[in-house]
Amino acid sequence: MNYEQQIKKLAAEKNAVILAHNYQPPEIQDVADITGDSLELARLAKEAKESTLVLCGVYFMAETAKILSPEKTVLIPRPDAGCPLADQLTPEIVRAAKTAHPGSPFVVYVNSNAATKAECDITCTSANAAAVAASLPEKKILFGPDANLAAWVQAQLPEKEIIAVPENGGCPTHHNFSVRDVEIARREYPNATIICHPECSREVQLASDMVGSTGYMIRNCGTEKEWVIFTEEGIAHPLQKKYPDTIFHVMASAVCPNMKLIDLFDLYVTLRDGVYPVQVSDHIAAKARTAIERMIEVSK
């Protein structure tokens, strides 16, 4: 069976739009109607005219789509596609931090579960984290769950006090990059510009030439002839499609296993059978929606 053709046919019949994150397998990105980073997917899911959204990514992304479009059917082909980073920040941890720092707003990374977002003041992505924190009048800001992204925001906003919650939260895939990896890349590819994702450690950020979100990379990595990219290896596919004459080097071992769970058969079954629907309780969705929409307003 030609799954690509069947997926396109079913999507048209079911009035469905397929959204895929930049880290998804190449065949999923190629069959998707929309690809992007977390911020782009959040915006475009809300704006989509179709009645069904199929989210190819991890579960918190599908939750975000459902929160922003409660009237739509939101499907995720693999509901077991979780995010270890998101699981590091619970609603209880947020409440405890707010109690310990009364009056300080909590900026929560969009890589978080719906119940956690509901306890926070505003969400952010790696693309807009510094802008979101800068938009808040308070000097002391709670930020989680990614401590490396918090450190990046602190470096951009020295006038603020950014408190990472939890103190050592992080993405396992990005946290595995080391300064030694950067040094090796400089020796192997002396003419390349090195860019890392802000989920990498502060040491790797400082050792790199540039720091940017996946969306930033896709918009800006056509300016040089050769790049070394320190983020999940899936980013190589959209970059190579957009800039075919540019050389990109990624670490083949930098794989998020949850981002690779969805295959074409899963996506076909999702569209054929209407599985697996994502639900978020009205109470949690209403509170989380406020935090997400505040972010979208800041990002306009």
pLDDT digits (tens, 9 = 90+) for 105-154: 999 999 999 999 999 999 999 999 999 999 999 999 999 999 999 999 99
Q: What is the pLDDT of residue 169?
A: 98
Q: What is the pLDDT of residue 65?
A: 94
Q: Which residues of 91-128 are buried (b: 16+ CB within 10 A; e: fewer)?
A: bebbeebbeebeebbbbbbbbbbbbbbbbbbbbbbbbb
Mean pLDDT of 57-84: 96
Q: Hey, is 82 helix, strand or coil?
A: coil
**94 pLDDT band (50/70/90 cuts)?**
very high
Q: What is the pLDDT of residue 5?
A: 97
Q: What is the pLDDT of residue 46?
A: 87
Q: What is the pLDDT of residue 1?
A: 87
**Spatial separation of the C-alpha atoms in residues 107 and 123, rounded to whole Å:** 6
Mean pLDDT of 285-294: 96
**66 pLDDT band (50/70/90 cuts)?**
very high
Q: What is the pLDDT of residue 40?
A: 87
Model confidence pLDDT, tens digit, residues 200-219: 999 999 999 999 999 999 99
Strands lying side by side in the sheet with 52-56: 34-36, 16-21, 52-56, 73-75
Mean pLDDT of 61-70: 95
> Please, where are the H alpha helices in 78-171?
91-100, 114-117, 129-134, 147-156
Mean pLDDT of the chain: 97
Q: What is the pLDDT of residue 165?
A: 98
Q: What is the pLDDT of residue 300?
A: 80
Answer whether 153's CB lies under 8 Å from 116's CB: no
- With a cut of 90, say whether residue 42 has pLDDT above it: no
pLDDT over 70 percentage in the chain: 100
How many whole angstroms from its chain centre is CA 118? 18
Give the domains, in start order, of the chain with CATH numbers.
Answer: 3-82+259-280 (3.40.50.10800), 86-170 (3.40.50.10800), 173-250 (3.40.50.10800)
- With a cut of 90, say whether residue 47 has pLDDT above it: yes
Nearest 5°: the CA angle 273, 275, 276 is 175
Q: What is the pLDDT of residue 38?
A: 83
Model confidence pLDDT, tens digit, residues 231-244: 999 999 999 999 99
The DSSP output letter for 192 is P
